[in-house]
């Protein structure tokens, strides 16, 4: 069973299979076919999910094309079909195919990579990536057309002020309101597209909203332009696409409908006029122009919406935390695995900061030989009940099961107390004030400061210093172990994000809590 989510892919896949002289069934309402009589069936997941009663046959393998769309929710259409077929074959195997193995809000869609490291979380849709061909390899070996990414010196849209929902999507009304105030920008952008398109054969324009798309069309040549949106009737849509593929029209404008299942090899200009938070969607859009075609040397890519993605570095599995981040290699102090995270380098190429949370290395259990993820965490939240290190977003301790304190609750409670001081920490200093006694001072971005003292002759004091700082060294350095004050290198210590202090009648402000690796709704200080 070969599943996908759009009729165009069902049809393309079936045609390619039958081009080898083989026969297949096709099950897709959009193609007016509901066949299940051959050994191999190409099907639309929507059509099958509405006809589960017809799935009464033993299948050994399900292949899912564009598998980054698979959701593990039990009521999802993919899971309904898979669960149904597993009733006839509990050992049913699942194979996913995609050029973009990550999903917005989830990250990597598989748990383990065949080179021996962890990428996704437990519960990812797929257990293991068994083969991978990076985009750079595909282009350098001439399997794909080289992208020519241009950053023109003209006015761009700025969608950075708009908020997204929990899935990273922008509100259509918010985008329309912003675009209404940038009509001059739209006209200027289309004028630039027309100039750039003079030597191009097929131009795809990705608009933000339907209203935006209609404005774009109004500035393009009438006889060379068509628009496809979600409401476009199927026959009209098929006709438009056929005319575009035959080069009867040059400009094809669309809104969220031609990112997958669309194959027009002659496309050599992609204009992006819409925002997205999705690495996967961005690559799907660009991918429409990377098919090989006779006489096609490159594909021009112009992003007029300021989407800050690097085509060649999706391996980090998430959008850049900020514009000056780049993939950096960070060795795990625990197992030595070379992790790839987003991070920052200095002028000498040394890692000064990275955004990785946990080592991606895979270890073998000494008892049963099973593979398991290295448990070293670069950023963590410590359970106050058992001391176990948890992911910074964890709400329940993975070790003892206790509900963990929400850092936002701690901050909110402290901010509501007159006798409490909350520092948004932007840095810290340390000085030896007497033999083996270290004074650490934390600074707020507004100038306030508060200090605490660690006595290295005291075993308990030395333990708490290590507990706070030893595993949180900058740039993934080896775990710190300091027997005396002289060994401490303050430049390697990572300051907390927030420091909470309470007023003491005799001793003034006394630190009651420090929040490291904060993940919540309050803004943190810029420590650069």
- Could you report the per-residue pLDDT of 371-396, keeping only the tens digit for each? 788 888 888 888 888 888 888 888 89
Q: How far is the C-alpha of 422 from the C-alpha of 136, rounded, in Å?
A: 47
pLDDT at 111 over 60: yes
Q: Distance of alpha carbon 203 from its chain centroid, rounded?
A: 27
Give pLDDT, residue 350.
Answer: 84
Give pLDDT, residue 454.
Answer: 94
Minimal CA–CA distance to 327: which of 336, 318, 131, 112? 318
pLDDT at 181 over 90: no
Give pLDDT, residue 90.
Answer: 94
Q: How far is the C-alpha of 495 from the C-alpha of 426, rounded, in Å?
A: 8
Q: With bands split at pLDDT 50, 70 and 90, how would you rate the model's confidence at 124?
A: confident
Q: With bands split at pLDDT 50, 70 and 90, how would you rate the model's confidence at 453?
A: very high
For helices 183-196 and 210-218, the axis angle rounded to 10 degrees is 60
Length of the chain: 528
Give pLDDT, residue 136.
Answer: 86
Q: With bands split at pLDDT 50, 70 and 90, how would you rate the model's confidence at 258?
A: confident
Give pLDDT, residue 89.
Answer: 95
Give the best-scoring range by mean pLDDT among 329-338, 409-418, 481-490: 409-418
Domain definitions of the chain by residue range? 2-97, 138-315, 320-378, 401-515
What topology is assigned to 138-315 in CATH? Rossmann fold (3.40.50)
pLDDT at 194 over 90: yes
pLDDT at 316 over 60: no
How far, in Å, are 78, 87, 318 from residue 93 at the CA level? Answer: 14, 13, 28
User: Any idea what the Cα angle at residue 359 is, between residues 353 and 361, rounded to 5°?
Assistant: 135
pLDDT at 313 over 70: no
Same topology for domains 2-97 and 138-315, yes or no?
yes
Give pLDDT, residue 188.
Answer: 92
Minimal CA–CA distance to 352: which of 219, 494, 243, 185? 494
Residue of 357 and 60 predicted with greater confidence: 60
Mean pLDDT of 40-44: 96
Q: How far is the C-alpha of 378 from the C-alpha of 365, rounded, in Å?
A: 22
Give pLDDT, residue 473.
Answer: 73
**Which of the residue ranges 98-102, 232-236, 444-448, 474-478 would you say has the lowest mean pLDDT?**
474-478
Mean pLDDT of 443-449: 92
Residue of 513 and 363 predicted with greater confidence: 513
Give pLDDT, residue 314.
Answer: 56
Give pLDDT, residue 478.
Answer: 61
Q: Is 394 exposed, middle or buried (0-12, 13-18, 19+ CB in 10 A)?
A: middle
Q: With bands split at pLDDT 50, 70 and 90, how would you rate the model's confidence at 474?
A: low
Mean pLDDT of 198-212: 96
* Residue 187, both tokens: 């006209």
Q: What percent of the chain has pLDDT over 70?
A: 95
How far, in Å, are 152, 199, 339, 513 from residue 304 at the CA level? Answer: 8, 20, 33, 45
Q: What is the mean pLDDT of the chain?
A: 88
The CATH architecture to which 2-97 belongs is 3-Layer(aba) Sandwich (3.40)
- Read off the DSSP letter of residue 145: P
User: Any idea what the Cα angle at residue 190 is, between residues 8 and 296, rounded to 5°?
Assistant: 55
Tens-digit pLDDT profile for residues 66-100: 998 888 788 899 999 999 999 999 999 999 999 88
**Which of the residue ranges 151-155, 235-239, 259-263, 431-435 would you say has the lowest mean pLDDT?**
259-263
Mean pLDDT of 301-312: 84
pLDDT at 315 over 60: no
Give pLDDT, residue 166.
Answer: 65
């Amino acid at each position: 069973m070969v599943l996908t989510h759009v009729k165009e892919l069902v049809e393309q896949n079936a045609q390619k299979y039958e081009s080898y002289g083989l026969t297949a069934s096709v099950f897709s309402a959009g193609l007016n076919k509901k066949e299940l009589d051959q050994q191999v069936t190409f099907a639309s997941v929507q059509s099958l999910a509405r006809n589960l009663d017809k799935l009464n046959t033993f299948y050994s393998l399900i292949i899912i094309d564009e598998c980054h769309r698979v959701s593990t929710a039990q009521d999802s259409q993919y899971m309904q079909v898979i669960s149904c077929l597993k009733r006839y074959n509990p050992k049913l195997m699942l194979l996913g195919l995609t050029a973009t193995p990550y999903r917005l809000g989830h990250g990597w869609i598989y748990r383990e990579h065949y080179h021996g490291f962890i990428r996704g979380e437990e519960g990812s849709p797929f257990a293991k990536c068994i083969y991978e061909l990076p985009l750079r390899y595909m282009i350098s070996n001439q399997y794909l057309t080289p992208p020519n990414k241009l950053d023109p010196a003209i006015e761009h849209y700025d969608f950075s002020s708009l908020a997204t929902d929990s899935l990273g999507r922008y509100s259509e009304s918010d985008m329309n309101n912003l675009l209404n105030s940038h009509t001059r920008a739209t006209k200027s952008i289309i004028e630039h597209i027309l100039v750039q398109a003079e030597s191009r054969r097929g131009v795809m324009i990705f608009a933000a909203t339907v209203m935006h798309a209609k404005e774009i069309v109004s500035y393009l040549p009438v006889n060379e332009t068509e628009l496809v949106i979600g409401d476009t009737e199927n026959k009209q849509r098929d006709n438009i696409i056929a005319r575009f593929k035959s080069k009867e029209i040059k400009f094809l404008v669309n809104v969220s409908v031609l990112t997958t299942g669309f194959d027009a090899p002659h496309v050599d200009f992609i204009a992006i006029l819409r925002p997205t938070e999705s690495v996967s969607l961005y690559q799907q859009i660009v991918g429409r122009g990377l098919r090989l075609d006779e006489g096609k040397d490159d594909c021009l890519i112009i992003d007029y919406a300021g989407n800050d993605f690097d085509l060649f570095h999706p391996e980090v599995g998430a959008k850049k935390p900020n514009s000056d981040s780049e993939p950096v290699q960070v060795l795990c102090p625990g197992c030595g695995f070379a992790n790839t995270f987003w991070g920052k380098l200095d002028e000498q190429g040394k890692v000064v900061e990275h955004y990785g949370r946990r080592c991606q290395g895979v270890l073998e259990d000494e008892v049963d030989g099973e593979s398991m993820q290295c448990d070293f965490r670069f950023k963590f939240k410590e359970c106050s009940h058992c001391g176990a290190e948890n992911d910074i977003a964890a709400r329940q301790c993975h070790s003892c099961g206790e509900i963990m304190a929400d850092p936002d609750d701690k901050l909110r409670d402290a901010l509501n107390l007159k006798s409490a001081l909350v520092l948004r920490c932007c840095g810290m200093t340390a000085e030896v004030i007497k033999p083996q006694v270290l004074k650490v001072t934390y600074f707020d971005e507004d100038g306030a400061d508060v200090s605490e003292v660690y006595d290295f002759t005291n075993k308990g004091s030395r333990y708490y210093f290590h507990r706070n700082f030893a595993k949180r060294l900058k740039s993934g350095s080896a775990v710190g172990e300091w027997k005396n004050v002289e060994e401490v290198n303050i430049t390697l210590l990572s300051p907390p994000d927030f420091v909470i202090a309470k007023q003491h009648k005799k001793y003034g402000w006394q630190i009651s809590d420090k929040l490291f690796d904060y993940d919540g709704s309050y803004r943190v200080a810029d420590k650069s």
